[in-house]
Structure 1
Amino acid sequence: MEERPGGYEVSNIVLYNKGGTKQLSEDDIKALHCSECSLLLREPYQLLNCGHRICRSCLLETVLKKNNPVCPEDKEPVTKNDVRPDKGCAKEINSLTAACGGSENGCTWRGTVAEAEIHVESCVYIVVPCPQGCGQRLSRNELSNHIQNDCQNKPDASQLIATLMQKLNQLETKFQVTVGSLQKEITNLKLQVKEVPQLKAKINDLTEELTKFNKVTQESLIAADSGRRFTGLDDDGRGGDPGYGSGNFVRGQMPSMASSSSSGGFSSAYTGSSSMPSSYSSGDEELRATVHKLQKDVDLIKPVLQDYQSQIAGYLEVVQTVQESVTRHAVLMEEVKLRQDILDVKTTNGVFIWKIPEIARRYADAQQRRTLSLYSPPFHTSPHGYRMCIRAYLNGDGSGKGTHISVFFVLMKSEHDNLLSWPFKSPVTFQLLNLSNSGNNVTETFMPDLQSPSFQQPKSEMNIASGFPRFAKQSYLKDPNFTKGDAIFIRCKIDLSSIDSKLE
């Protein structure tokens, strides 16, 4: 990601502890603020002389560039040798759960502090001042209607279009920068992950080598012990029980063997003769030296093995982090794209055709549970009518999970709801468009259940979705009759005949 100056701006973020169970107090947040920029610390460094913390960019770009650097809080002198990265503080900040400040208006997003900084820049639920300078503060999704109808400094149509185009261009630029940075980050992490098999191979080699060393060591110790028993030597090289070695032979057996031997070799071993004990004592020492050397080699190998085991554990954590990061970034990219789509689309006649591009990738994301569902941009039955959207599960939901595409109708809260008749009564028709000449669309229609909360006046941003878990077979996602240019088209039509024309 591109490096940003200063700390994290958290005015539109609600911070929770790790796990998201407890909201941080003002004192908790203040303890994590930068002494220079007063924002939440980004890449924190600690000033060793006084203990205060400061962002890396604030330290390098502001504090240390002064002629006589001092701590921004207590004015203690600061040099490059008096600072160090505060990894503990960084870990604490990275573990925090951040919720969108637009949660009171319906936003349910949660993520890390770094992700929240990107999210709030485009979230339509964040409250912002009117850009026309009238003094009103509204959520972004209310700005368009406010500027067109209620703003005291309402611009003319050409100025409004120019403003919207400028915002769209800014959002598109941010989206492209975000995507490029994420792709670069993912590529770097994938290169690190590629090292994991090599480390596993090294671990296996070292484990095999250590096993061989242990086996040889054990055999050598057994051989040494056998030498002591055969020569009648104790561990210190002195003779044991004459004639009976270590006492492992039956009394009377070895003397008879010795007396029957023509060479007298056995007899000397058991009658105190020094020639045989001396010879075997030398061999015993060689075995001891060999065993000692092998044991030293084993002792040298063990720390190396432990180090590699530690490294492999670290890389496995990296793999897990990469997978989680890819999932979060994929969702984030979908969200930014949706914000762009919302600016592009304005349908007010109750008929909406939703193009879902990159269908192969999105279908794979759904199967891998990276993105469970997709939302269409909102559309309306009229300029001041019902507001709604489509929700699609490409890998299915409920009874259609894994086999069918699930499609649902979602009523959304709007500023004109109090003018409309409730519950919502109009029949809703969905079609998966057949793009060939045959024209055999997949079509399903339902009548609203007037008792269901799905069709009552919305109290939150969206009502509970209602529709078809088994709308269309997933095989259609690969059927050239329904997929063109890696995209499918879902048409939603609202029957307007049952809507009061006075309200429309």
Structure 2
Amino acid sequence: MQESSIADAITAPEARFECPICLSWLRDPVLTYCGHRFCRTCIQSWLEKDNPICPVDNMKLQKDSDIFPDNFTRREISQHRTKCPNIIRGCYQELSPLDVEAHLLTCKFNPPELPDNEKLRCTFVDYGCLAKFEDEPEKQRHLEKDMQYHLTLLSQKLTKIVINNPANASASGIAQQANFWDPPSKNEQNSNFTANEATDNLLKTLYEKIVILEQKSREQDIIIANMSNQLAANNLAMSKIALRYCHGSYLWYINDIKNKINTMRNNQHIMHYSPGFYTSSNGYKLCVRFNLSAKDPNYIAVLIHMMKTEHDHTLDWPFSGRISVSIIHPTQSFRTIKETMMTRPELDAFKRPVQELNPKGFGYTEFTLLEDIIEQGFIDCNQLLIKVNVQPV
């Protein structure tokens, strides 16, 4: 995403946190002698002009002596949170407004980089706007931000029509070429419109229609954003319900598995944990851990961890039961790797958790060879499926 698009995507700041020069969030905020806040780089560049004055009240300022760091405002801005611009694609991370740009460089929900010939074109491309976009949300932000620029292009286009076709410079002729405006009735015999008056009326009508369309577009954006938030909240609630009522039978789809494996090969301390699932609605809570074996990184380790719940005091401890762990083959079920183990109450791994996740796990530190998982086709669509079945006894 281009730098301008990133700035547009960040939530608009409050007036007190907005730089009067770049009209974005204050970055490295400073306070001038006359009491106005700016980004440090913005005001310094401004004061390099021949007549160094404050852009707000025209008071003379010296770059070296009349600008002071505003650490209080810096702290206030750092405490604000805004949603990632990729929320419409599934990223629900909340960040400081000043961290959004850095986050977007690594956000896994960024739209794919398209070849130049496959990018979306601006709606006003026929009028001279050459902007291109990776996806529809980026195009919409452009249309909202550059409305005045598009009006200018329309005006220039209409002016050329009048100059190049003076015979057709009437309101009817211009309207027919622009395809926007209904001309006066042909039955109006006493019409005294000149070409300039017709053009002015046409531009006024165009402007009014564009404003109405922009308002409708903004309303739709707000509705879509609200619906996206509601869907995200509903999906989160449904996933939590599913985890609570799965009765100890949990399917863990590990996405982007190839990248995770490469990352773990480079750093064997990296471990991946599943969401917590329950043996019943008010039963035990567990999660699965997946990593490369510390003894031999050629093997996959799969372990089970007990997790803390709000009703642990109603359960029998230590946990006792049977746990089955399977790595599912997507097409050949006979290749599925399954192991079953009985809990051992004397181990710390099955005692009542005193923190969110019991640091002690139990399972297989060398469950299966990583090479077998890759070569025998267990990975499908860059995804690995682990099934766990827990039966308390």
Question: Structure 1-normalised TM-score?
Answer: 0.38
- Bigger radius of gyration, 1 or 2? 1
Q: TM-score, normalised by structure 2?
A: 0.47
Q: Relative to total residues, which structure has the larger helix share, 1 or 2?
A: 1
